[in-house]
Amino acid sequence: MASHLSFFAFDLGAESGRAVLGHLDGDRLHLEEVHRFGNGPVSLRGSLHWDVLHLWAELISGLRAGAARAGRALASVGVDTWGVDFALLASDGSLLGHPYHYRDRRTDGMMEEAFRQVPRDDIYAQTGIQFLQFNTLYQLLAMVKAGSPALAAAHGLLTMPDLFHYWLSGCQANEFTIATTTQCYDPRRGDWAFDLLQCLGIPTHIFGPIVPPCTVLGPLQPEVAREADCPVIPVVAPGAHDTASAVAAVPASRPDYVYLSSGTWSLMGIEVAQPVINAESLACNVTNEGGVGGTFRLLKNIMGLWLVQECRRAWAREGEALSYDDLTGLAAQATAFGPLVCPSDSRFLAPGDMPARIQAFCRESGQAVPQTPGEIVRCAFESLALEYRRVLTQLERLAGHPLPVLHIVGGGSRNRLLNQFTADATGRTVIAGPVEATATGNILGQALALGHIGSLAEGRALIRRSCELVTFEPNHTDSWDEAYARYLTLVQQTQPGRAATSAPGEEMAHGPRCRL
């Protein structure tokens, strides 16, 4: 293992972005944040977009800061971001419009529209991806239905990290882990799901080559290096989907574990050698996304700490500024095992008055209505812990064996109250850390690409030596079992049923559907 090297990771999340140096010194990895900046949707003419030019300017600022700090030790740079969103490029590589934000309302009803054209089971059989209305597939279908001029003019599609890698290196390529999030990829064929795309009228020529994670894309563009006062270092595509990088950084020492990447979203799953696409995985609505090291991530997307983040913003707008520590403290003091919500209910997806939405859910489901911030946040935390139990049960059934250890990584791993709730609700040992899992996994991907780490297992051993891990043992009680029974009833009552693959007369109304 090489020593005294620095790898530069840009980690772009839904709320903020960070530029992090990973200093590899012998048998330890040390992280140093050199730049942080805000990120979020921009509302323009009734639509939500990402401000990618702002993000690019921040990447240049971060690169300049990192180069000044690391000097000649700087070995490479790589970017990871959230999934599903994308940019369209013209024939000369220029940007066509402002990339949309996945919470934009244009995808409302698009899953149902897709099912009218292609049976739901067929879509899952070809993609193995969880049905979520903001998946790239439905964003593109919305553009088809709207007659989008940008889509008609497009010569290429790049997901968000691929776009920044293109601007850094000049190489247009789609990295595997982020490509698999789109529901436009066929994991069994190892290529884009061209048959599905054609059935939905989505132009297939915009989908370019796919490269594996830990690929060296090329050197930093000279003009970028000059602007950032940075050496011409290699640009590496790590696990470019932030969850792929986070899972790569799970410090597991045994194979029978569950990971939970906890942040705005909670991504809970297991690593498998091949995609699991069958009737049971479809019934569980789990997703098969690409991983680092020849793996697939069999996981479930759960709304996560978004509920609490939006509550905090709503209370701040009303003049009640509460930190996350404040909210966790209030939740700890609130009455246990009160009302519950289904975190992934569609009403919670868009930005807005989250406290009122949580209260409305409780009222409509015949429960006591939480009133104070502490009661509302406790409701969110207990509901999340119970949803983790439900998903873990599904994963054990799909895996065919027990999963006794749950690793929580990411920003949410700092929340000791939610970690303990999770251990208690699931009856599993919880190991929390590293907090900076995504940036750590990004750095591991770069080190793997350049041969400074020999394997993913070697990288995970490096993480175990380098970061503090906190263990939470379960204090499982009958109260959690009673709450779980209530929670399952809520899910059955409020979760939308599986969309029908056809309705009487549908073929006459819409024409024959495409079979894949």
| pLDDT tens profile 113-141 | 999 999 999 999 999 999 999 999 999 99
My answer on whether 262 and 229 are in the same domain is no
As beta bridge partners, residue 241 has 81
**Class of residue 47 by CB neighbours under 10 A (exposed 0-12, middle 13-18, buried 19+):** middle
On the question of pLDDT at 407 being above 50, the answer is yes
Are residue 472 and residue 380 in the same domain, yes or no? yes
Do residues 272 and 402 share a domain? yes
Q: Lowest mean pLDDT: which of 248-252, 326-330, 444-448, 496-500?
A: 496-500
Residue 3 has pLDDT above 70, yes or no: no
Would you state the torsion angle of the CA atoms of residues 368, 379, 268, 388, taken in this order, to the nearest 10 degrees? -60
The reply to whether 167 and 194 lie within a common domain is: yes
Asked if residue 203 and residue 311 are part of one domain, the reply reads no
Cβ-contact 248, 242 below 8 angstroms: no
- 157 & 234 share domain: yes
Confidence band, pLDDT 50/70/90 cuts, at residue 4: confident
- pLDDT at residue 514, rounded to an integer: 80
SS3 381: helix
Judgement on whether residues 409 and 281 belong to the same structural domain of the protein? yes
Same domain, 211 and 257: no
Q: Residue 321 is part of which domain span?
A: 250-433+467-497
Examine the domain organization and report whether 391 and 483 are in the same domain: yes
In this structure, is residue 416 part of a structural domain?
Answer: yes
DSSP state of 413: G
**What three-state secondary structure class fits 47?**
strand
Residues 182 and 331 in one domain: no
CATH number at 384 reads: 3.30.420.40
Residue 312 corresponds to which tokens in the numbers above?
A: 């905090």
3-state secondary structure 144-203: HHHCCHHHHHCCEEEEHHHHHHHHHHCCCCEEHHHHHHHCCEECCCCEECHHHHHHCCCC
**Token pair in block for residue 113:** 């529209």
Instruction: Express each pLDDT in 336-367 by its tens digit.
Output: 999 999 999 999 998 999 999 999 999 999 99
Q: What does the buried/exposed string (b/e) look like for 397-413 if buried means 16 or more CB atoms within 10 Å of the residue's CB?
A: ebeeeebebbbbbbbbb
Torsion sign, CA atoms 310, 312, 313, 317: positive
Give catalytic residues, as residue numbers: 242
Number of structural domains found in the chain: 2
Query: Residue 303's pLDDT is what?
Result: 92
